[in-house]
Structure 1
Amino acid sequence: MNQISHLQRRTGTYESIFHSPKVTSTTSSSSSSAKKTYIVQTEHDLMPMSFSTPDIWHQSLLDSVSDGPTKRTIIYTYSTVLHGFSTSLTATEAESLRLNPGVLAVLPEKVYHPDTTRTPHFLGLDSAGGLLPRSKEGSDVIIGVLDTGIWPESRSFNDDGLGPIPSKWKGSCVTGKNFNASSCNSKLIGAQFFSSGYEAQYGPIDETKESRSPRDDDGHGTHTSSTAGGAPVDNAALFGYARGVALGMATRARIAAYKVCWIKGCTSSDILAAMDKAVLDGVDILSLSLSAPPSPFNEDTTAIGAFGAVQHGVLVSCAAGNTGPLPYTVRNVAPWIMTVGASSIDRDFPSYAVLGNGNQYMAQSLYDGKPLPSRPTVSLVYAGNVSNSVDGGVYCLGGTLDSTKVAGKVVLCQNGNTTALQKGLAVRASGGVGVILAGVEEDGSQLQAEAHFLPTVTVSSKNGDEILRYILSNPRPRVTIMTGRTRVGVRPSPVIASFSSRGPNSITPQILKPDVIAPGLNILAAWSGNSGPTGMVEDKRRVDFNIISGTSMSCPHVSGLAALLKGAHPNWSPAAIKSALMTTSNSTYPNGQPLLDSATGKPSSPLVHGAGHVVPQKALNPGLVYDITADDYLNFLCGIGYTEQQIAVVARRRFTCRKGVVGGGLNYPSFLVQFPVQGSGQKRVNLTRTVTNVGDSPSMYSVYVSLPHPVKAVVSPQVLDFRREGEMMSYFVTFTSSSLPLGTSKFGYLEWCDGEHRVRSPIVFIWV
């Protein structure tokens, strides 16, 4: 007899159509003659005078390394966020091209995969006064969303009450299959698609399966776009759940959709082309709910493109990834990127399995079909006892269940091998009427709701053992599953979602990532009319709104909030907006207790939540900001050992490092202090920060530092006396500590306060 105590541990915490993002390198090949896509970055200043345009020079470079009779063609030319082109090359050709003095880098293509009615209220955006009026709700701000496209018919993209399109907009509404120029309006002001890199790798798009146009056949892009800037929609819901007024963070911001993701993924050459075009088009915010395992910034095309965007004044907001709760999993870690982790809100969707013995088990579930009886009168069976398969029976795999033993019953299935949704399909195909899925980690992952095909409850291995014992000890085990509830006012909230990727930062450990957390668990937003709520081919249900989870959902929340801040402070730099959101975030609940991590049920830390949970109203008036210029970022790269060539790849130009710069010296709104373990005596780390007064003047700020044992700190000066708005002042911090065991981490914070503003920076101490 199979025992549920041996249920397989869950391999991923994000089981929806968008699994934890993977990245595939296209460089691995045993044959040097196999062609792959590469992004070739050129040094524009070294273009010979004999070439009248970069395009001609690029083609000449390409022709010079072609080792076959067929002329190589350029897929994209990049001119804004970087200079260069993408093309298909053999490994030999790529290596030859790297040797050209005008070429900075030849980077292999990577393939990325994509990682509301309540959140505005939860974030305080519906309160009187404050951020929305000051920002004009972002009406002049343009949010560029790089994703799976957009469903323009969604009510979230109506342009009622919006004025003319901002004059700075230079983009277009590209027509294609099922997408006309009339699909755009004063809300959805632009829609374009980028598929050349994808098609170079995978061949022509199958238009019987997806639209070769900006149309979103998947739903993910529509969901993220409406979260960032969707217009108000009355009576929005999924299957009656979460009913209310759905609206994005910046309800009057303009949306520009850039479709870069297709059935098999999103290629970096297409993503880079979209970023390049978006900045040229005039977007103010770029929102990318995409991620991949991090790599050095000179090899990371998203980081390179984001640096170019920031140089043009465009804030880039990215998902932190869905590979938590393990450490060192955070993605999109470049310091010039806003990296967003995921948290819950004060709403959930409880479902209950009630056994005949009175025991009750709760989980999260979304189900719209025929309900089961209100009393536990339905027969309950264990999959291992009703299977015609020796190997896969306990997992409720498709085709393994005996319909004569399953019909009309609820089935207890073991977690593993397939998703909960696929198990539901298998049970339904065999005539079953409900599913209890046992073996889900007790790590908060059961807080995630999915649009199940049958009444479903997920339980831990321990609770699964209890249910199995009930089945084995009772000649007529009975159960019912009750669904269909929406509960608000859930406490505590927010808690950090278990799937949200965590630090430390594996590329630049001197920079704390993620930067902030925002709502990303069970988020309601608009959806595609070509996809069911699960995104599965078998799901023929169609909905206007869907509830899904991931840092893909938290990223556009911050993108929309950044748009509101940009509307209120049009002259603020991306770094200033980022600083305002970080230093005003909450790392505690109103009662002063620390935020909780659902993966452990224990207090979270800055390695998990960064600066904390965003608080939009406070971010409007942060008092002080930590501003950063492009040269500051480059000097930081100098200080951590990047070579002149590597920095040129990021900067798109040669850069001379400032003498004396050391790692950790970036003017970042958070601190990460590394104490060496080796040696005896006190360890000492000196850091400098500069703050800019964006609040009242005159104003006087005093410092307070909260430190863990045995760390001590000296801050100089301890008072900052500002006489005018825009004035900048520096302060110096010396941290000292005795040695602790290797890998030990402790936490504190540094806060400047003038009686009205509290400008708080988290501090992480790590002994390395």
Structure 2
Amino acid sequence: MFSENYEAQSGKLDPSKRTARDFVGHGTHTLSTAAGNFAPGATIFGNGNGTAKGGSPKARVATYKVCWSTNDAGGCHEADILQAFDYAIYDGVDVISISVGASNPYIEAFFTDAISIGSFHAVAANIVVVCSAGNDGPAPRTVTNVVPWSITVAASTIDRDFVTNVSVAGKHYQGASLNRGLASRKFYPLIHSMNARLPNATVEDAVNEAAHAGAVGVLVINNDYSGNTLLAEPHAIPAASLDSNSDDNEWMAQGGSLQNNSRKLAAYMTVARTSLDIKPAPIMAGFSSRGPSAPDITAPGVNILAAYSLATSPSNLPSDSRRVPFNVQQGTSVSCPHVAGVVGLLKTLHPDWSPAAIKSAIMTTAATLYNSNQPIRDAFEQIATPFEYGSGHIQPNLAMDPGLVYDMRTGDYLNFICAHDSHNQFLLKFFNRSTYTCPKYYNIENLNYPSITVANRGMNPIHVTRTVANVGTPSTYVVKANILDGFKVSVQPSSLTFETIGEKKRFRVILLATGFPNHGFPVFGNLSWTDGNHTVTSPIVVL
């Protein structure tokens, strides 16, 4: 546990709370998602019954407590985070999963951010660092933890929902819920929250107070920023999350007494049930933070069932006396450990791979199609882009055998820092103990990253170079580039032949503007190398 700097700034902790015990549930949930052992009988209020396990079951785990809020509201001091990184590196861990947001999403700030600095030193020690992308979507420029040496994870849905049927004014709606049912099978009158809560009350507070006032249930209507992302939350009383974009939803926006044709509206809600094989899935969560500083990958982060702390209630409200060994949680905090668990498996399978190689394997084998073989969509029924999902949705089985990887070492990252700090090398002292001589010229666009992002330069050709290393059997790869709107893409050479494992080949991507894009900038595309057995895909973005 690391609290010295938090206590110096915020005052001494209550002695009963100054412990590594999880009083919030967040740490237990994320840790079990990453590396929980096989746990039969997992369920939350009768939903999601089965055997739960983390991404790397049977892994040895170490936990480093750096956040000290008791209500999931933060309380993480950057100096404590850095100290925890130091201890994790000293302890010789293989993977660090950190579901904590950086303080600022902009590139000027992340060179001085504790997670950025700590993760650099971890990666330099051959430790893979996986971070959450943030929950400030769908606003643009909200992705945090975007340094190239760590893996940044967005959140998307899975093909399982916890659903309830809601009836209002003769209309039927399907919502997300974990409720055990109402007191009896009858309709109950509705009262709008505009007339039932204080203006500054949160949803959780409103639900809690509704229960105290005698309410039997709550209908939570998505706001404009949530889209169709329906969250099954463990509210203190039966509740359902509904999409405000549903048909015939006029009643959802009504205030006052919720009257319809002079009659007060009434509603009924069925017992929640687990629904499998949901299509389409995955869908990008409305809350998942967006680029242009894009995440690297997306993974399950909506309605995820995992272990939970018995030191708190499932709703995290002090007035809630319930205790559950498993709970459902949402967010990029939840999607991050999914990737960390996969990384643990890859480290076991390929102990000689660098953190960059593992990151490349995950990114270049990701899916951009959902389970009906159509492009992944977002919570607003639009086709999603790399700004939302990075390279796509993680596919662990393919990541085990990617064929080719884009590898990097510490010097590549130092050159990246040099390019942002070319005048006084002030930033380098946070990352490198010894003196490092920056190259006289370094093009950031040539960083050997598994994706390609370039700035539009009018009609001038844009040249970008990359190097791939063979990690599969000897083979010949040929390239295919999806045409970007307003650009001609060529790759030189168009084929690469590898005769040995570890052999490296360099290629150049040339983007030539042929006209102004029909929909303006940014413009998205991709290129893939394939040998018939492997497909190694990189997104291309022109800003």
TM-score of the alignment, normalized to the shorter chain, above 0.5: yes
1:716 paired residue among 484, 488, 492: 492
Whole-Å separation in 2 of the counterparts to 1:314 and 1:488: 36
Instruction: Tell me if 1:755 matches 2:532.
Output: yes
**SS in structure 1 opposite 2:122?**
helix
The CA deviation string for residues 640-681 of structure 1, in whole angstroms up to 9 with x for no partner, is 45442222322233211223321211000001121135xxxx
Whole-Å separation in 1 of the counterparts to 2:165 and 2:82: 46
The CA deviation string for residues 659-716 of structure 1, in whole angstroms up to 9 with x for no partner, is 3321211000001121135xxxx2221111000000002x111011002222112211
1:348 alignment partner in structure 2: 161
Q: Would the aligned equivalents of 2:140 and 2:290 in 1 still touch at CA under 8 Å?
A: yes
Instruction: Tell me if 1:365 matches 2:210.
Output: no
Structure 1 residues 438, 228: CA separation in 2 closer, same or farther (over 3 Å shift)? Answer: closer
1:397 alignment partner in structure 2: 197
Whole-Å separation in 2 of the counterparts to 1:727 and 1:379: 69
**SS in structure 1 opposite 2:335?**
helix
Q: Would the aligned equivalents of 1:445 and 1:499 in 2 still touch at CA under 8 Å?
A: no
Structure 1 residues 274, 743: CA separation in 2 closer, same or farther (over 3 Å shift)? Answer: farther
The aligned amino acid for 2:214 is G
2:35 alignment partner in structure 1: 229
Instruction: Give the % identical residues.
Output: 41
The aligned amino acid for 1:709 is D
**Structure 1 residue runs of 4 or more that deviate by more than 6 Å after TM superposition:** none
Structure 1 residues 373, 534: CA separation in 2 closer, same or farther (over 3 Å shift)? Answer: same
Structure 1 residues 477, 592: CA separation in 2 closer, same or farther (over 3 Å shift)? Answer: closer
Q: Would the aligned equivalents of 1:342 and 1:551 in 2 still touch at CA under 8 Å?
A: yes
The aligned amino acid for 1:240 is G
Q: Would the aligned equivalents of 1:327 and 1:504 in 2 still touch at CA under 8 Å?
A: yes
Counting only pairs closer than 5 Å after superposition, residues 225-624 of structure 1 correspond to structure 2 as 225-263=31-69, 265-292=75-102, 293-294=104-105, 295-355=108-168, 357-368=169-180, 371-374=182-185, 377-383=186-192, 394=194, 396-397=196-197, 417-438=200-221, 440-441=223-224, 443-444=226-227, 446-459=229-242, 465-466=250-251, 468=254, 471-475=259-263, 477-505=265-293, 513-589=294-370, 591-598=372-379, 600-624=380-404
The CA deviation string for residues 51-86 of structure 1, in whole angstroms up to 9 with x for no partner, is xxxxxxxxxxxxxxxxxxxxxxxxxxxxxxxxxxxx
Instruction: Tell me if 1:707 matches 2:483.
Output: yes
Q: Would the aligned equivalents of 1:315 and 1:337 in 2 still touch at CA under 8 Å?
A: yes
Counting only pairs closer than 5 Å after superposition, residues 656-695 of structure 1 correspond to structure 2 as 656-677=437-458, 682-695=459-472
The Cα shift of 1:445 comes to 5.4
Name stretches of at least 5 consecutive residues in structure 2 with no aligned partner. none
The Cα shift of 1:424 comes to 1.9
The aligned amino acid for 1:549 is Q
The Cα shift of 1:394 comes to 1.6
Q: Would the aligned equivalents of 1:714 and 1:734 in 2 still touch at CA under 8 Å?
A: yes
The Cα shift of 1:739 comes to 5.7
Whole-Å separation in 1 of the counterparts to 2:422 and 2:118: 18
Instruction: Tell me if 1:195 matches 2:3.
Output: yes
The Cα shift of 1:471 comes to 2.4
Higher-Rg member (1/2): 1
Q: Would the aligned equivalents of 2:287 and 2:331 in 1 still touch at CA under 8 Å?
A: yes
Structure 1 residues 651, 738: CA separation in 2 closer, same or farther (over 3 Å shift)? Answer: farther
Whole-Å separation in 1 of the counterparts to 2:235 and 2:120: 41
Q: Would the aligned equivalents of 2:222 and 2:228 in 1 still touch at CA under 8 Å?
A: no
Mean Cα displacement is larger for which, 446-455 or 240-249?
446-455
Whole-Å separation in 2 of the counterparts to 1:301 and 1:747: 32
Q: Would the aligned equivalents of 1:379 and 1:476 in 2 still touch at CA under 8 Å?
A: no
Structure 1 residues 200, 445: CA separation in 2 closer, same or farther (over 3 Å shift)? Answer: farther
**SS in structure 1 opposite 2:369?**
coil
Q: Would the aligned equivalents of 1:636 and 1:664 in 2 still touch at CA under 8 Å?
A: no
Structure 1 residues 343, 438: CA separation in 2 closer, same or farther (over 3 Å shift)? Answer: closer
**SS in structure 2 opposite 1:603?**
coil
The Cα shift of 1:607 comes to 0.9
Whole-Å separation in 1 of the counterparts to 2:422 and 2:515: 29
The Cα shift of 1:749 comes to 0.6
Name stretches of at least 5 consecutive residues in structure 1 with no aligned partner. 1-192, 384-392, 399-415, 506-512
Structure 1 residues 261, 381: CA separation in 2 closer, same or farther (over 3 Å shift)? Answer: same
Counting only pairs closer than 5 Å after superposition, residues 97-108 of structure 1 correspond to structure 2 as none
Instruction: Tell me if 1:765 matches 2:542.
Output: yes
The aligned amino acid for 2:363 is M
1:113 alignment partner in structure 2: none
Q: Would the aligned equivalents of 1:441 and 1:460 in 2 still touch at CA under 8 Å?
A: no
Whole-Å separation in 1 of the counterparts to 2:402 and 2:210: 54
Whole-Å separation in 1 of the counterparts to 2:340 and 2:222: 36
Whole-Å separation in 2 of the counterparts to 1:251 and 1:732: 41
